[in-house]
Structure 1
């Protein structure tokens, strides 16, 4: 039957056959199958163990011990076999060797609940009830932990199936069974964050930190949640702890620097951003933030330099070119600013602010017609801004295009009726046209529509 198999495969198959016979209580058949395996491979560990099982079932305890001992000689770290020997000694009331075998099994495999339970029974026989209770409690604890882990695995299956509420219930049951099971807290926190239940997730992560105080990633995740709900001081503390545990992870430093920036602690934020780009020069957003800090501190030259460094890191980011244009505009370096705005628009043409700022810069060098085109493009992208219409209207005033200017301010008033400056601008135009009565009415917001139409047509 096994002629085409290797000796190891043949012996293994015969051992499986022997165990099947043993389970069916066909002891003789089991014995002969195991004997054949040992003929093929003498002292084959699995066959030695199976022979011990069979002889134990036959009541031949000493012979069974000898075969188990032979299995251990071949495979010294076999905790299950030590357990079997211990049980045979216990049946013969040989308590000391039974205890020694059970303790060796636990040393090799500490999570064997049955072995602790056996030890408890031996201690009861010896009258040591305190130790018996201790072992019994340990057995229950291990079984509880295994059950808790099964709950987590079931929760994971439900999570993968999209059954979030059911998954949450299983994770909570796992935690009740084993409050020290970090995996249950971790999975529960993950699901709670996905469901937006951030306060509950915080409790999970705080429990995890108590269980795994050296795990930096838990503190990092906790910091992100605190930041999201606006608890910035708690977020700072969490990110600082994450950085202390793992100073090489850049994103904890990035989050911490961003929070300090948001809180207005610019010098300390600058310190963290500089450390960040020193160790991780490709994190482009840090260059943006450093530039913004320099602008706030009115160190425009430094801002220009850092933006240009950022552009080298990520030349395809429109935001860098726009920020550079803004810094150059503050220095009244209009031509390089215009170039920067153009580059920003090439990369992202649908940002109205880019066109508006370009229009401002063009206006400052006297290119009014080009500036008009830029303002018109900005309005095309964002037609709900009264300020864009007002800026274009002001530009038309410079060109003495009175009707176009009035129409722009009229649009601004339609968007924002309380925009007084627009009324005054229209009044100014009427004065330039010599219609002082209409100008006064505009200042007082009287008969505005009639006067505007009269002036246009």
Structure 2
């Protein structure tokens, strides 16, 4: 707590610096107070100022700023130090104090700028820890080259600073520079062979490059080091599934469940693996478990039967973004319904109003679709249109639908842009369109090119509600 008499003296000096009013008296008073508090260096400065004919504005503001800092008055300190560095941009001490003040006050942009100026003026003050933090902040701001430059200075100071290699590895991976990314993760293992995450990172890179045996070896090493973390098991499951090694995928899924009991993703992969082995009934049990965890109790209660998952992992996102449509007299449209998983969920959770309707368009409806829709108890709300998708879409009324879902099976890269554009015309203003992107072999490609082109074409007419690598939800805000 700052004494009131000191606070008054500091404010008096601030006024004197700004207006040159009673300068000598204010300086002498502050100097005497500081001397009585044993702040001899600052006291000497202000007592000397009392004898000067002209004010030293830079030193005066800097001194006031430091005194305010010492008493925890950061906002007051900031004002004075900002005045000091404005008058003298080369004032290292001012930038150094300001960087720490901005950090405490949560002013991230200003903090980054102040640390950058501090280290440019005094490179010897740039510790590895501070440089690493600055690098992370710059990276989050999108200034990747500056972040890399900071990280390289860290490595030069402390060659065994492991966190910096992880960050560099992730940057190089994002840039598609696999060789340099791999070098970073191998460097970590050379420093500490028990870094489970580094082995996992290498394993996932091998998986992306279809070097499956190398991926398995790296992921197993990660699990050996840290058997209680599920992420390495998860990548191992993906590897076994890509290779068609279903028994090993199933065994690894069960190992994950021994660590994390309620894990919908694992139940889904178990289901998929069992479907591949022809064990359809058992697979359904695991799909039901995943849906229950996601809050879709009706899937079990009504005994829907699915051998493919097109929704369960996305249920929380759909619930959040479609809730305003629930129990409303809306018209919904689905292009590509497969076994009816999305249609059943919509009928159970969104299309609950007595007059709500769903049109499903498919080249040829499966028996599973008909059976599952019948189990909803709301089959009368569903109209099936079977045949040529493009012709059927063109035949529908424009500006008539509140919700449109385009299934990923029909969103191939040559047709999605056209189908999305036609569907957009059928969507009401205020309605929601859901575009599902097929998985790309290019890990740096976040969405199918057709979806990206469509989004660009209606940029000023749509608002993004959700976007991920596999899905985009947009609200139509203008025709």
TM-score by length of 1: 0.54
Task: Map 1:13-412; keep pairs closer than 5 Å.
Answer: 148=62, 151-155=65-69, 157-158=71-72, 165-173=75-83, 175=85, 182=92, 184-193=94-103, 197-214=107-124, 215=126, 216-383=128-295, 393-395=305-307, 408=341, 410-412=343-345
Q: 1:269 Cα shift?
A: 0.6
CA offsets 1:258-296 (integer angstroms, 9 cap, x no match): 111122211211111110121033433322221121111
Give per-residue Cα distances to partners, 1:118-171, cap 9 Å, x unaligned: xxx9xxxxxxxxxxxxxx99xx98x9769735623522543xxxx654453354
How far the C-alpha of 1:371 sits from its partner, in A, is: 1.5
Preserved contact between residue 311 and residue 320 of structure 1 (Cα < 8 Å):
yes
Question: 1:219 Cα deviation (Å)?
Answer: 2.9
* Cα separation, 1, equivalents of 2:276 and 2:240: 13
Gap regions ≥5 residues in structure 2: 1-40, 310-337, 351-357, 375-379, 387-391, 397-479
Q: Deviation digits for residues 412-441 of structure 1, max 9, x if unmatched?
A: 4547968745983368647xx9xxxx9x96
Maintained 8 Å contact 1:186/1:204: yes
Do the aligned residues in 2 keep the contact of 1:185 with 1:205 (CA within 8 Å)? yes
C-alpha distance in 1 between matches for 2:292 and 2:368: 26
Call closer, same or farther: CA 1:423–1:317 in 2, change over 3 Å. Answer: farther
Query: How far does residue 177 in structure 1 lie from its aligned partner after superposition?
Result: 7.8
Between Structure 1 and Structure 2, how many residues are aligned? 298
Alpha-carbon displacement from aligned partner over 1:208-248 (angstroms, at most 9, x marks no partner): 11123142334322211111122223222222232223222
Give the superposed CA RMSD.
Answer: 4.6
Residues 202 and 218 in structure 2, CA contact (< 8 A), matched pair in contact too: yes
Contact 1:413 1:419 survives alignment (8 Å): no
* Alignment check: 8 A CA contact 1:147 1:174 kept: yes
> CA deviation digits over 1:67-124, x for unaligned, max 9?
xxxxxxxxxxxxxxxxxxxxxxxxxxxxxxxxxxxxxxxxxxx99978xx8xxx9xxx
Q: Distance in 1 between matches of 2:272 and 2:370?
A: 22
Higher helix share: 1
Distance 2:86 2:277 in 1: 72
Cα–Cα, structure 1 residues 423 and 344, in superposed 2: closer, same or farther, change >3 Å? farther
Query: Displacement of 1:315 after TM fit?
Result: 1.1
> What residue in structure 1 maps to residue 385 of structure 2?
443
Instruction: Give the Cα–Cα distance (whole angstroms) in 1 for the partners of residues 130 and 267 of structure 2.
Output: 44
Tell me by how many angstroms 1:200 deviates: 2.1
State the alpha-carbon separation in 2 of the partners of residues 424 and 295 from structure 1: 35
2:366 maps to 425
Secondary structure of the residue aligned to 1:443 is: strand
User: What is the CA deviation profile of residues 14-66 of structure 1, one whole-angstrom value per residue up to 9, with x for unaligned ones?
Assistant: xxxxxxxxxxxxxxxxxxxxxxxxxxxxxxxxxxxxxxxxxxxxxxxxxxxxx
Which position in structure 2 is the counterpart of 1:37? none
Tell me by how many angstroms 1:383 deviates: 4.7
Q: Distance in 1 between matches of 2:144 and 2:360?
A: 37
SS at match of 2:365: helix
**3-state SS of 1:442 partner:** strand
- Measured against aligned partners, the alpha-carbon deviations of 1:279-320 in whole angstroms (never above 9, x if no partner) come to 033433322221121111111111111111111221110111
- Aligned match of 1:85: none
Q: 2:267 touches 2:289 (CA, 8 Å); kept in 1?
A: yes
CA drift at 1:250: 1.5
Structure number having the greater strand percentage: 2
TM-score in terms of structure 2 length: 0.51
Give 1:189 shift: 2.5
Give the Cα separation in 2 of the matches to 1:355 and 1:344: 10
Can you give the 5+ residue segments of structure 1 that lack an aligned partner in the other structure? 1-109, 122-135, 398-404, 447-457
Alpha-carbon spacing, 1:427–1:281, altered in 2? closer, same or farther (3 Å): closer
